[in-house]
Structure 1
Amino acid sequence: MPLVDNSRDRVPEPGTAPATTQPSATAKPTALESMGGPMGFVYSTVPVVIFVAANAFLPLPLTVSVALATGLALTVFRLTRGERFSSAVGSLVGIAITAGVVAWTGSAKDFFVIGIWAAFAGFLVTFCSAVARRPLTGIMWNLLHGGKHAWRDDRTVLRAHDVATLAAATVFGARFVVMQWLYLKDSTGWLAAAKIIMGAPLTALAAVVVIWAFRQSTKRLAKAG
């Protein structure tokens, strides 16, 4: 006769907790996942490639229209996949603004001008916060944890956030210097290449350092109460 497993029908002995199967805790997202995963890189790359490719063959007004149509198509695709409305539409708004700048100035290289100066602003904020010994990533971590931790009093935590904030400043600064140089040289094609290479890949590297600093802070401060 086949053996029957009656373990599910057994009554637990007094003083022992019943065995239950608990769902595993939700895993923390990786740096790549926090940026939208591989598709996030695609979403940020496709409009740039389409714009530069169209600009090589089409008049500028038609190129702007193609860029807007691409952004709209990507937005619809992302919404049908169930992505957050704010993320999908936010990307479309960004493309619309850059396309509007190009239409206003009549210069294809101005498709990148907002990103260039946004990188400069990011560099100023992150670098100045590190110099003032109030690194931005530490402020962000503290706000996310109730804003009640004296994180700057812990040398290890402060040093970790100095490193993370300077890593972000390096990415912003490098992006600004390279792209501004290419902008002044009217190299629209190389601007596109620089935006792709110095965009998501470098941001992911900086995100790894920031996540490391966050974990260091949580290990030393949040658990200590």
Structure 2
Amino acid sequence: MNEQHTDAPTRPTPTATPTVLDQMGGPLGFVYSTIPVVVFVTANAFLSLPITLAVSLAAGLGLTIFRLVRGEKVASAVGSLLGVGVAAALVAFTGSAKDFFVIGIWAALAGFVVTAASLLARRPITGIVWNLVHGGKHPWRAHRRVLRAHDLATLAAAVVFGARFVVQQWLYLADATGGLGIARVAMGTPLTVLAALVVVWAFRRSSKALL
């Protein structure tokens, strides 16, 4: 008597949906963005400016090598080193430690101008991006709930950019290099994650309504 064996259908193993923090590099992404700032501010408190720059560049190079060894994308790893290098070059040129943060300050201002201008023009930039990602053919501005969602998402981004500029520019004018370091860390990844949560919500709402 032959026994018949039936194989039970295999179900695909569910994959966990990555969180916003995961998509931004996870906890290590926060560490990567924090280390160069902490190293620079700490070294600047105890060492001369030339040695501070050398230590910062060495730390940036070491971090880049570590990321490459871990198998991260070359563009991402080298990009962080490039950022440290440009900031250090600016400090070397001006002779002022606080200029290590000036690029980030003006980048925050540029981000605020772009996001705020898109809101005033009734074309919130997060909606423009969502539409481009999905082929650029969706009448998203004609859908009231979708437009309102992108108004909120773009407003969240504008508030983050604006807050960064106001606080860090104030500290910059006050020559508070240590305060700039603290502000850069506190207003970096944490605020970005909060704004990104609103943007993700707007994207999902748009996809549910229009796709």
Same fold (TM over 0.5): yes
Aligned to 2:61, which of 58, 72, 95? 72
1:15 match: none
**Partners of 2:56 and 2:194 in 1: CA distance:** 28
| 1:1-225 equivalence runs, <5 A | 6-8=5-7, 20-24=9-13, 26-222=15-211
Aligned-pair RMSD on alpha carbons? 1.4
The residue identity in structure 2 corresponding to 1:67 is S
**Partners of 1:196 and 1:42 in 2: CA distance:** 10
Deviating above 4 A after TM superposition, structure 1's stretches of 4 or more consecutive aligned residues are 24-27
The residue identity in structure 1 corresponding to 2:128 is I
Number of residue-to-residue matches in the alignment: 209
**Partners of 2:120 and 2:131 in 1: CA distance:** 19
The residue identity in structure 1 corresponding to 2:123 is R
Cα offset, 1:24, TM superposition: 4.2
TM-score (norm 2): 0.95
**Partners of 2:113 and 2:14 in 1: CA distance:** 38
**Partners of 1:126 and 1:205 in 2: CA distance:** 16
Structure 2: state its 5+ residue gaps. Answer: none
TM-score (norm 1): 0.90
Cα offset, 1:25, TM superposition: 5.8
**Partners of 2:139 and 2:88 in 1: CA distance:** 45
Identity of aligned residues (%): 67
Assess, with a 3 A threshold, how the Cα gap between structure 1 residues 38 and 5 changes in structure 2: closer, same or farther.
Answer: farther
The residue identity in structure 2 corresponding to 1:115 is G
The residue identity in structure 2 corresponding to 1:68 is L
**Partners of 1:214 and 1:117 in 2: CA distance:** 27
Q: Secondary structure at the match of 1:137?
A: helix
Assess, with a 3 A threshold, how the Cα gap between structure 1 residues 153 and 63 changes in structure 2: closer, same or farther.
Answer: same
1:54-73 superposed Cα distances (whole Å, 9 cap, x missing partner): 11111101111111111111
Assess, with a 3 A threshold, how the Cα gap between structure 1 residues 219 and 90 changes in structure 2: closer, same or farther.
Answer: same
**Partners of 2:13 and 2:157 in 1: CA distance:** 33
Assess, with a 3 A threshold, how the Cα gap between structure 1 residues 213 and 54 changes in structure 2: closer, same or farther.
Answer: same
Cα offset, 1:7, TM superposition: 2.4
